[in-house]
């Protein structure tokens, strides 16, 4: 594993530990971090296997840091976003929407890198990456609802973060889709990434 990747992991762990100290709602913090406990080791394993690019590592660090912040304060009550809410006169705190958007925007590249070894064209890789973003986003909303409904109904406001919006789940998923679609603007960059990954795979 590259030294730069190790540094990024150390930075994230440091941020995560800081955000784990005295969270606003400990039960909500735990629920928000279940997927972190599962996927953080998976990301490291995949990185050791496929050697993600440095840019992908930076992008996942940014997204993961935002998630750690949201887990600490809850997505519905992220106090630092209140300034933006008041400035623009929003009726709700849109921090959750921003993070869903960043999920599609920032994690697209690293998912693309995971898919590249299994497909035969860059367009196919882009299609499956986009489909994966959409599927994960929708599945997360369903799992989020089921967990609250069956285990922690008292955390519905903090964990779901719907803030009274009956279309919250759909809007969150749509934000992720928009973020993913914006990656198409970097199509030529993904072609170069594809060629680089295939080249390294061939001469590995």
Q: pLDDT for 17-55, tens place per residue? A: 999 999 888 877 888 888 889 889 999 998 988 889 999
How many CA atoms does the CB half-sphere of 171 hold within 13 Å?
Answer: 14
66: Cα separation from own chain's centroid: 9
- The pLDDT score that the predictor gives to residue 51 is 86
Q: pLDDT for 108-126, tens place per residue? A: 999 999 998 888 889 999 9
How far is it, in rounded angstroms, from Cα 13 to Cα 100? 21
Predicted TM-score (pTM) of this structure: 0.83
- Greater confidence (23 vs 149) lies with 23
Residue 151 is classified by DSSP as T
The tally of domains found in the chain comes to: 1
Burial track 145-163 (b if 16+ CB lie within 10 A, e otherwise): eeebeeeeeebebbbbbbe
- Of the pLDDT bands very low, low, confident and very high (cuts 50, 70, 90), residue 91 is low
Q: Which residues form the domain of 198? A: 3-202
Q: Backbone dihedral region of 82: left (phi > 0), alpha (psi from -120 to 50 degrees) or beta?
A: alpha
């Amino acid at each position: 594993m590259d030294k730069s990747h190790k540094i990024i992991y150390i930075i994230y762990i440091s941020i995560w530990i800081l955000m784990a100290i005295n969270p606003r709602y400990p039960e909500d913090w735990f629920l928000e971090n279940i997927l972190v406990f599962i996927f953080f080791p998976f990301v490291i394993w995949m990185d050791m296997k496929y050697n993600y690019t440095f840019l992908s590592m930076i992008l996942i660090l940014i997204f993961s840091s935002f998630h750690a912040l949201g887990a600490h304060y809850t997505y519905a009550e992220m106090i630092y976003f209140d300034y933006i809410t008041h400035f623009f006169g929003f009726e709700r705190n849109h921090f959750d929407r921003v993070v869903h958007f960043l999920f599609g925007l920032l994690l697209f590249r690293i998912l693309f890198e995971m898919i590249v070894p299994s497909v035969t064209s860059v367009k196919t890789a882009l299609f499956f990456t986009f489909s994966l973003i959409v599927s994960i986003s929708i599945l997360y909303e369903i799992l989020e609802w089921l967990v609250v409904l069956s285990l922690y109904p008292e955390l519905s406001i903090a964990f779901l973060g719907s803030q009274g919006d009956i279309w919250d789940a759909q809007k969150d998923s749509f934000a992720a889709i928009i973020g993913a679609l914006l990656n198409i603007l970097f199509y030529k960059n993904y072609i170069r990434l594809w060629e680089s990954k295939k080249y390294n795979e061939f001469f590995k």
